[in-house]
Amino acid sequence: MRTPMIAGNWKLHKTLQESSGLVTELIPAVADNRTVEIVVAPVYTALSKVAEVIAGSNIKLAAQNCHPEAQGAFTGEVSPALLKDVGCHYVIIGHSERRQLFGEKDEFINHKARALAVAGLGIIFCIGETLEEREGGQMFDVLRRQIRYGLKQLSADQMAGVVIAYEPVWAIGTGKTASDVQAQEAHAFIRALLAELYNVQVASATRILYGGSVKPGNIDGLMTQPDVDGALVGGASLNADDFARIANFQPPG
């Protein structure tokens, strides 16, 4: 009942021409895929161009970040309304690179989440523990904290627009993927937490993506896990063949 999502986070890569070339290659490669929601998140400057190229296809647009305020003296920032205006369906927030490199805290991420929900944009909300936290036995506490504070004040109705991406920091861009069992363990914990914080309906309807070195060679295994509803893909989303193979994963069974 949960539509799988495969989302590509292009991070700080690709010129306008390269971005448009990548989606132009991707469109026919995923055109027959009617069962998966496919999303790409280019750099801000390529959003408008990519929106134009994917119009009428089954690929949706996401932004990699936003600022929570609607307008004002926030030099260099982009609001939810402007992202909606350019054609975004989703916005990624809470990515570990934003948390680690730009010092974003749960409270600020929560401010963005609330602003996006009000603007009617979908949210891809990233959480995940570092290796140190995992090895120190704090993984579940970290995930609990990130969800409790990051999604604070979002109503059960607003949760319909939220997709959670579990991305263990030690697996992002490192080539080390969580095993299928490790991913399932974290996802099951997240789903149980949603039942506790909201209710069983929200828990069973919310999609939980796995992210961290997802490749054509490991997606099928990850998707056999009952609580893995898709993937947030970094490096492998920069190549049309690889990303198409991930989006066209072989369903379990």
Contacts of 119 by beta carbon, 8 Å cutoff, 6+ apart: 80, 81, 84
Q: Which is nearer to ligand PEP, 158 or 248 (CB)?
A: 248
Min separation Cβ 214 and ligand PEP, Å: 5
Distance CA 154, CA 142 (A): 19
Active-site pick, 95, 97, 104, 111:
95
- Smallest distance from ligand PEP to CB 9, Å: 5
What does residue 43 show for φ and ψ, rounded to 5 degrees? -65, 160
Query: Residue written as tokens 């997240």?
Result: 190
User: CA neighbours within 13 Å on the CB side: how many for 147?
Assistant: 29
Identity of the residue, 120 or 173, whose beta carbon is nearer to ligand PEP in the bound complex? 173
Does residue 167 carry a catalytic annotation?
Answer: yes
Residue 10 or 108: the one with the smaller Cβ distance to ligand PEP is 10
Positive/negative CA dihedral, 106, 109, 115, 120: negative
Which H or E run includes 30?
A: helix 16-30
Q: Which residue is nearest to ligand PEP (CB)?
A: 234
Choose, from 37, 129, 133, 167, the residue flagged as catalytic: 167
| 58 and 23 Cβ atoms separated by less than 8 Å | no
DSSP state of 35: S
Query: How many helical (H) and strand (E) elements, i.e. helices and strands, does the chain have?
Result: 11, 8
| Min dist. Cβ of residue 248 to ligand PEP (A) | 17
| Interface residue list for ligand PEP (CB under 6 A) | 9, 167, 172-173, 211-214, 232-236
In 10 A of CB 87, how many CB atoms? 16
User: Closest separation between CB of residue 85 and ligand PEP, Å?
Assistant: 25
Q: Is 95 a catalytic residue?
A: yes
Q: Which is nearer to ligand PEP, 6 or 53 (CB)?
A: 6
Nearer to ligand PEP (CB atom), residue 106 or residue 167:
167
Active-site residue list: 95, 167
